[in-house]
């Protein structure tokens, strides 16, 4: 397999690419360009390319001043799944979250994305919550990376 290039979003073109992947993978909660720009100001957004072709994006929500919890979300376009690309993108986000001080890792998956849910469960995440956003019908699933006993936040 060719090398996967993962780089931070930088500029309008990469924000549009990130938005395109997000809105494809999460069609029930599409984001506007303005919303993506706002997210880029508080989260670390990255793009994944394989041989120059856009294959995915990720979000790392850093831990806040009063918490050790970070959220790592890896999104791979359906045509590129089951090739190990999600694992590489997730590992990159996990490393970044740890560098930012995270001790607890969470993720979020749309219920209609069974590949994403299987991926999270296979990587040690356990479900903590399901909810439907106002106006939506498909639940989001929040998951937390399994922790040793006594690892409450």
Can you give the CATH number for the domain in which 22 is found? 3.40.630.30
Residue 147: per-residue pLDDT: 59
Q: Half-sphere exposure of 22 toward its Cβ, with a 13 Å CA cutoff?
A: 22
Residue 2: per-residue pLDDT: 62
Question: The whole model's pTM is what?
Answer: 0.88
Residue 42 lies in a domain: yes
Residue written as tokens 């690892």? 151
Residue 151 lies in a domain: no
Distance, CA of 26 to CA of 78 (rounded, Å): 11
User: Please, what are the averages of pLDDT over each run of 10 residues along the chain (153 residues)?
Assistant: 87 97 92 96 97 96 89 95 93 95 94 90 94 89 74 38
Residue 149: per-residue pLDDT: 37
- Tokens for 68? 């050790």
Residue 130 lies in a domain: yes
Say if residues 70 and 61 touch (Cβ distance below 8 Å).
yes
DSSP strands (E only) in the chain:
4-8, 44-50, 53-61, 69-76, 104-110, 125-131, 140-145
What domain range is 43 assigned to? 4-145
User: How many domains in the chain?
Assistant: 1
Residue 57 lies in a domain: yes
Query: How many other CB atoms are found less than 10 A from the CB of residue 79?
Result: 9
Residue 91 lies in a domain: yes
Residue 103 lies in a domain: yes
Residue 61: per-residue pLDDT: 96
Residue 153 lies in a domain: no
Residue 152 lies in a domain: no
Which residues are CB-neighbours of 36 under 8 A, at least 6 positions away?
Answer: 15, 18, 19, 22, 45
Which residues are CB-neighbours of 130 under 8 A, at least 6 positions away?
Answer: 111, 139, 140, 141, 142
């Amino acid at each position: 397999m060719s090398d996967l290039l993962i780089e931070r979003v930088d500029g309008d073109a990469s924000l549009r690419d990130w938005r395109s992947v997000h809105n494809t993978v999460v069609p029930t909660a599409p984001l506007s360009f303005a919303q993506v720009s706002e997210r880029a100001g508080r989260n670390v957004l990255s793009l994944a390319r394989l041989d120059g072709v856009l294959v995915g994006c990720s979000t790392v929500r850093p831990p806040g001043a009063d918490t050790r919890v970070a959220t790592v979300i890896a999104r791979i376009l359906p045509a590129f799944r089951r090739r190990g690309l999600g694992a590489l993108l997730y590992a990159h986000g996990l490393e970044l979250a740890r560098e930012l001080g995270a001790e607890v890792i969470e993720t979020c998956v749309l219920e209609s994305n069974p590949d994403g849910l299987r991926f999270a469960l296979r990587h040690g995440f356990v479900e903590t919550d399901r909810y439907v956003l106002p106006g939506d019908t498909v639940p989001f699933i929040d998951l937390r990376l399994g922790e040793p006993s006594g690892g409450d936040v």
